[in-house]
Structure 1
Amino acid sequence: MKAVLCSSFTGPADLRLGEIAEPKPASDEILIDVHAASVSFMDQLLVSGLYQMRPPLPFVPGTEASGVVVAVGDEATTFAPGDRVACSSWTGGYAERMIAKGSKSVRLPDDVAFEAAATVLHNYGTAYYALVERARAQRGETVFITGAAGGVGLAAVDLGRHLGLRVVAGVGSDDKAALVRSYGASEVINYRSEDLRDRIKSITSGQGIDIGFDTIGGAILEQMARLINWGGRLMPIGFTSGVIPSIPMNLPLLKNYAIIGVFLGAWAEKFSAEAAHMNDTLMQLLADGHIRPRIDRVLPLEEAGEAMRAVANRSVQGRIVLKIR
């Protein structure tokens, strides 16, 4: 079968389309005819050797996909051949067929397209886990979301709107402002050209933000740490800047706020039943039109490297999807 292969941790330029043997599902896994796979920043980090884990080489990238079940392991009894599903996995999505754990897969409502379904579990899963499970966000609270036009950030804007939060979107260029406003942001801050502290103070009447949802790290998170309201929650989601920040611990002490880590993949591994329930909830929100995944473009499988370069260059708004069938 056709698959994109990563044979060295040297980045998207060295990915190659090749032929590999079809994977065999273990007892707790399902085998899927892949119709669509999304391209994430995590995928780009994995093939570049910059993620916190390194799969054995060679491997097939692709952490999220959708398609049709063709075989099931003995323990994956909630699925059957012919089921339309979306799934998440550390690797394997950029191929004609992939395996995924039954616990990390979800059945699709009939009217949900494969392309949209392939963009939900990571993006909206991260946003849901952060805002609902970790932050316990309450209607009317103010959330500041960095990287708000990217895949995870835009999902957080969209879900924040649905939850009744006051969404302040942080972007790195003015051309992204219209998009995040259309997804529910009431205020937009360009942190490359505006003073973040002054804008947050002005927007919140000096109170600060209730929830900080940060995907960037570095200096942005260090500034956010000084802008949290009393009893607020500061959540590091990722470090796309490449810099892991240091935060003086007197800051959360003085305002009794919490720093809450958000690592969806680790939680889903430890609490598979809860994660499966969340995935069902997300797919129902999608089917009902309450969330609107943004697909930047759809590309063929052989253009996976180009898709990853676009993600790395921050020229993607939402997600790129690889159409495989």
Structure 2
Amino acid sequence: MRAVLCSSFTGPGDLRIGEIDEPKPAVDEILVDIHAASVSFMDQLLVSGLYQMRPQTPFVPGTEAAGIVVAVGDKVTKFRPGDRVACSSWTGGYAERMIAKESKSVRLPDGVAFETAATVLHNYGTAYYALVERARAQRGETVFVTGAAGGVGLAAVDLGRHLGLRVVAGVGSDDKAALVRGYGASDVINYRSEDLRDRIKSITGGDGIDVGFDNIGGAIFEQIARLMKWSGRLMPIGFTSGEIPSVPMNLPLLKNYSIIGVFAGAWAEKFPEEAARVNDMLMQLLAEGKIRPHIDRVLPLEQVGDAMRAVAHRTVQGRIVLKIK
């Protein structure tokens, strides 16, 4: 079968389309005929050797996809051949068929397109885990989301609106402001052209933010650490700047705020039943129109390198989706 192959950790430019054997599902896995797969920042980090894990090469990248079940393992009870599903795994999505754990797969509601379904589990799953499970965000609280026009960031804006939060969106260019406002941000800050401290102080009346949802890391995180409200929750989600920040620990001490780690992928591995329930709930919200994943563009599988470069250069709003069938 056709698949994208990563033979060395040298980045998107060295990815190639090749032929590989069809994978076989283990007892707790399903085999999915893939119709669409999404491209995340994590995917391009993985093929560039910049992620915290390195699969054995050659491997098929792609962490999230959607399609039709064609076979199930002996212990699988939730799915059967013919079911339409979205699924996630650390690798394998950029291929005609992939395997995924039963616990990391979810049945699609009627009417949900494969392209849309392939953008939900990672983006909205991370946003939900961060805002609901980790921050315990309450209606009316103020959340500041950085990288707010990206896949996970925009999901946090969208879900934050649904949860009744006041969402302040941080973006790196003015052309992204309209999108995040359309998804529910009450205020937008361009942290490359505006003073982040002054704008946050102005927006919050000097109180600071209840919840910090940071995808960027580096200097942005260090600034947010000085803008937290008493008893706030500051969450590192990722480090797209490439810089892991350091925070003087007198800052959380003085305002009694918490710094809370968010690694949704590890949580899903450790607590698969809880993660599966969240996936089911997210698909229900999607079917009811309460969340609205944004697809920047749909590209053929052969343009996977272009898609990853666009993600790395931060020219993507929402997600790029690869159409496989």
Q: TM-score range by the shorter chain?
A: over 0.9
Per the normalisation by structure 2, the TM-score is 1.00
Alpha-carbon separation, structure 1, partners of 2:157 and 2:97: 32
1:54 CA displacement: 0.2
Per the normalisation by structure 1, the TM-score is 1.00
1:110 CA displacement: 1.1
Partner residue in 2 for 1:118: 118
Code of the aligned partner of 1:199: R
Deviation track 1:16-49 (CA, whole Å, cap 9, x = no partner) reads 0010000000111000000000000000000000
Alpha-carbon separation, structure 2, partners of 1:132 and 1:125: 10
Partner residue in 2 for 1:295: 295
Alpha-carbon separation, structure 2, partners of 1:154 and 1:277: 22
1:125 CA displacement: 0.4
Deviation track 1:145-181 (CA, whole Å, cap 9, x = no partner) reads 0000000000000000000000000000011101100
Alpha-carbon separation, structure 2, partners of 1:313 and 1:242: 12
2:291 counterpart SS class: coil
Partner residue in 1 for 2:317: 317
1:75 CA displacement: 1.2
1:122 counterpart SS class: helix
Stretches (4+) displaced over 4 A: none
1:259-274 residue pairs with structure 2 within 5 A? 259-274=259-274
The answer for unaligned runs of 5 or more in structure 1 is none
1:226-305 residue pairs with structure 2 within 5 A? 226-305=226-305
2:177 counterpart SS class: helix
Alpha-carbon separation, structure 1, partners of 2:231 and 2:292: 31
Alpha-carbon separation, structure 2, partners of 1:308 and 1:13: 9
Code of the aligned partner of 1:52: Q
1:159-174 residue pairs with structure 2 within 5 A? 159-174=159-174
1:111 CA displacement: 1.3
Alpha-carbon separation, structure 2, partners of 1:321 and 1:132: 27
1:77 CA displacement: 1.4
Partner residue in 2 for 1:104: 104
Alpha-carbon separation, structure 2, partners of 1:76 and 1:312: 37
Alpha-carbon separation, structure 1, partners of 2:291 and 2:103: 23
Partner residue in 1 for 2:89: 89
2:266 counterpart SS class: helix
Partner residue in 2 for 1:39: 39
Alpha-carbon separation, structure 1, partners of 2:233 and 2:165: 14
1:233 counterpart SS class: strand
1:175-254 residue pairs with structure 2 within 5 A? 175-254=175-254
Deviation track 1:237-280 (CA, whole Å, cap 9, x = no partner) reads 00000000000111111111110000000000000000000000
Partner residue in 2 for 1:2: 2
Instruction: Answer yes or no: is 1:62 the counterpart of 2:62.
Output: yes
Instruction: Answer yes or no: is 1:30 the counterpart of 2:30.
Output: yes
The answer for unaligned runs of 5 or more in structure 2 is none
Alpha-carbon separation, structure 1, partners of 2:48 and 2:81: 35
Deviation track 1:83-142 (CA, whole Å, cap 9, x = no partner) reads 100011000000000000001000111111100000000000000000011111100000
Alpha-carbon separation, structure 2, partners of 1:221 and 1:117: 31
1:144 CA displacement: 0.2
Partner residue in 2 for 1:144: 144
Instruction: Answer yes or no: is 1:19 the counterpart of 2:19.
Output: yes
Alpha-carbon separation, structure 1, partners of 2:240 and 2:76: 35
How many residue pairs align between the two structures? 325
Alpha-carbon separation, structure 2, partners of 1:299 and 1:76: 32
2:121 counterpart SS class: coil
Equivalent pairs: percent with the same residue? Answer: 85
Alpha-carbon separation, structure 2, partners of 1:203 and 1:289: 29
Partner residue in 1 for 2:74: 74
